[in-house]
Chains A and B, each alone.
Chain A
C-alpha cells in the first residue's frame, strides 16, 4: 500500500495505529470522511485497481444487514456485514466493480462496534443466526493487515448460537491454524476450474492452493464449505466442471464438509452494463447472456443444463443435507 487515507475520527484508534505502523513509508493522508475520497465522482475503477489506496475509516450507521433471499446455508436468520469494502483480487464477474466508484480498499477499524451489533442481532432470535462475512470483500485476503479474523473468532467463541461464515478465495489461514477450531464457524471457499481461475479470477490463488488451504483447515478441525458460485458457461463446461468436482472430491473429506452451494453467473442489469464498459473483451461477457427477472444471466435452458450437470455430479459425493442451491 502506497497511500493510506485516515479518517480523523479513527486517527488514534489502536487498529489505525497498528496498520499505519505497517506502512511507515506510505503517504499518510488525514481526511474528514472516507466518503469524500471513496464516493468521489469520476473515478477510474480500472486504473485504481492497479494501485489502490487504503482508507481507514469508522463505520457508522447500520452495520449488520439481512441477506438477500436465497443467500443462506440452512439457517433461518441470515445476516451479512462488511468490515471492508472492495477486494485485492480482480475477478471479472465480481459485482463490486459495478457497485463502487472506487477500487480503493476501505477498512472499518471499529470492529468492536461490528461485534456488539452481531451480539445484539443474535440476541433478537431464539434460534441460531448466521453472519456472513465476505459479501463486499474477501474475508481473509487482507487479514494480515486488518487482523479482523482474530477479533471475530474471539467474539464468536462467546456466542454459541451465532454462526460465522468466512467466505474467501485466499490462503491467508494462519490465524485459523493458530487456534482451536470453533464449532460455529465455517470457512467457505469459492471454487472454479483452474482454466476459469486463470482467465477470469485475476490475482486469486490457484485452485490447487485453495484446495491445499481447505485440506489444512479440515485437518485442523475447522468446518469448511464449498461454494461453486458463480458457475460460468463454456462450450466445454462439463469437461471443466467435471474435472473440478473430481479434483475436489479426491482432495477433501467430503462427508465432513459443512455445506456445498451452487450458483449460476448472474448480475443486476446496471452492474452488467458497467462491467461491459470496464471489460468489453472479457470472455465471460461474450457468452450468451440475457435479461431474466431483473438480472442478466444465461438463457433458462443453458442454466438448467449447467445446474443439472453439477447437481448430478454432486449427488454422487454429498448428502442432501449438505447441499444449498443459490437462487
Chain B
C-alpha cells in the first residue's frame, strides 16, 4: 500500500461480490506436498481487486484474516502498515503450511514512471535498517521487469530517490515470511503510484486499482516460475505417503520413523520402487520392519552404468 489511499476504503468489496451478512464461501481444496500454493499479499482492497477478479478468488474465513482463495492462489489483505502486514503474514503462514510462496503486490512511490512495475531486489525496514534480499528469478521468466530497492516507511515521505521505492508493508511481510519460507519464495512487486511529478495527494482507490492492473502479469510470471522451480525439487510425496501409512499402523518412535524414511528412500533409489506394503505391515514392529528394509537395501546392488 502507498500512503494516500484512505484506510476507510479497507472495507471496500470488489464489484460483483456482494457481502451477505454472516455468509462466507468455503473453497474446498485438497493439497498435496507437491502442489505449489502462492499467496499474494496486498494491504488494501484497491490493491486486491485486480487479483480477486482475474484469478477468480473467493473469500474464505480464516481466524479473522481477510483471505481469498482459488485452487492455486491465496490472497491475503493485511491492512495498512508494517505491523499489520507482519502479523497477518505470520498468522497465515502458521495456519497454512501449504503456502509455498508469498508475493507482496502493491503500489509504491518512487522516482520512476507512473504505473511502471518493479520487482524488489532488496527490502529495507527504514526504521530498523534490517534488510532482505530475495533470490531473483531469471529475467526472461519475469519479462525483464526492472528491479529496485524498497524502503518500508512507518510514515509517508516524498523524498524520492533513484532506484528506491517507498512502501509501508514489504518489510513487515518479509520479516514474518522469512521465518517460514526461503529467499526464493518471498517477493515484492510494486507499481509506481506517485513520483516527483504526481504526488501522494492524487492517489485515489480507483487510481490504485487501475494502476495495479499492470502488476498482474508480473505476479503470474513469478508464480509460474515458482511452480516450475518447485517441480524440479525433491518430490518425495510418494515416499512420504508410504511412510505415513506405515507409522499410522505400526508404532514408531521419532528415531525409528526417521530411520524408516531413510531406508525407504534408499530402497527407492536402489530398486526404483517402494517395497510392497503387504511384506512390511505384517511384520508388526518398527524393529522388524527396519531389519527387513536393511536386508533389502543391502541386497540391492548399487551400480553405475552408462
Residues of A near any B CB (own CB < 8 A): 2-3, 5, 25-27, 29, 31, 36-37, 40-44, 46-48, 50-51, 53, 193-196, 198-199, 232-236, 240, 276, 278-283, 285-288
Say whether A46 contacts B233, CB under 8 Å.
yes
Say whether A287 contacts B135, CB under 8 Å.
no
A199 to B303, CA, bound (A): 11
Say whether A48 contacts B268, CB under 8 Å.
no
A sample of 5 inter-chain contacts (CB < 8 A) reads: A42-B183, A46-B234, A236-B304, A286-B270, A287-B302
A43 to B133, CA, bound (A): 10
Q: Indicate whether B72 reaches chain A with its CB closer than 8 angstroms.
A: no
> Which residues of A sit under 8 angstroms from B266, Cβ to Cβ?
285-286
Q: Indicate whether B232 reaches chain A with its CB closer than 8 angstroms.
A: yes
> Which residues of B sit under 8 angstroms from A47, Cβ to Cβ?
135, 182, 184, 229, 232-233
> Which residues of A sit under 8 angstroms from B268, Cβ to Cβ?
281
Contact A27/B262 with A2-B138, A48-B184, A286-B269 known, Cβ cut-off 8 Å: no
Contact A43/B301 with A48-B184, A282-B269, A286-B269 known, Cβ cut-off 8 Å: no
> Which residues of B sit under 8 angstroms from A53, Cβ to Cβ?
135-136
Q: Indicate whether B298 reaches chain A with its CB closer than 8 angstroms.
A: yes
Interface class of chain B by DSSP:
loop
Say whether A281 contacts B304, CB under 8 Å.
no
> Which residues of A sit under 8 angstroms from B132, Cβ to Cβ?
40
Contact A27/B183 with A194-B306, A283-B269, A286-B269 known, Cβ cut-off 8 Å: no
Say whether B135 contacts A43, CB under 8 Å.
yes
A37 to B133, CA, bound (A): 6
CB distance from B48 to the nearest CB of A (A): 27
Chain B positions 183-219 with a Cβ under 8 Å from a chain A Cβ: 183-185
Q: How many chain-B residues does the 8 Å CB contact rule pick out?
A: 37
> Which residues of A sit under 8 angstroms from B122, Cβ to Cβ?
29, 31
Say whether B182 contacts A235, CB under 8 Å.
no
Q: Indicate whether B39 reaches chain A with its CB closer than 8 angstroms.
A: no
Chain B positions 52-98 with a Cβ under 8 Å from a chain A Cβ: none
Say whether B131 contacts A36, CB under 8 Å.
yes
> Which residues of A sit under 8 angstroms from B306, Cβ to Cβ?
194-195, 198
Say whether A50 contacts B229, CB under 8 Å.
yes
Say whether B302 contacts A280, CB under 8 Å.
no
9 tightest Cβ-Cβ pairs between the two chains A and B: A195-B304, A44-B182, A235-B301, A286-B269, A280-B265, A286-B266, A47-B184, A37-B133, A42-B182
Contact A41/B305 with A50-B229, A283-B269 known, Cβ cut-off 8 Å: no
Residue ID in chain A nearest B177 by CB atoms: A42
CB distance from B267 to the nearest CB of A (A): 9
Cβ 8 A contact of B121, one of A27, A198, A236, A278: A27
A276 to B266, CA, bound (A): 11
A286 to B268, CA, bound (A): 9
Say whether B302 contacts A233, CB under 8 Å.
yes
> Which residues of B sit under 8 angstroms from A287, Cβ to Cβ?
302
Cβ 8 A contact of A234, one of B137, B265, B302: B302
> Which residues of A sit under 8 angstroms from B304, Cβ to Cβ?
193, 195-196, 199, 232, 234, 236, 240, 283
CB distance from A196 to the nearest CB of B (A): 5
> Which residues of B sit under 8 angstroms from A37, Cβ to Cβ?
133
Say whether A283 contacts B302, CB under 8 Å.
yes
CB distance from B302 to the nearest CB of A (A): 5
Residue ID in chain B nearest A195 by CB atoms: B304
A208 to B91, CA, bound (A): 55
> Which residues of B sit under 8 angstroms from A31, Cβ to Cβ?
122, 133
Residue ID in chain B nearest A41 by CB atoms: B178
Contact A42/B181 with A50-B232, A286-B269, A286-B302 known, Cβ cut-off 8 Å: yes
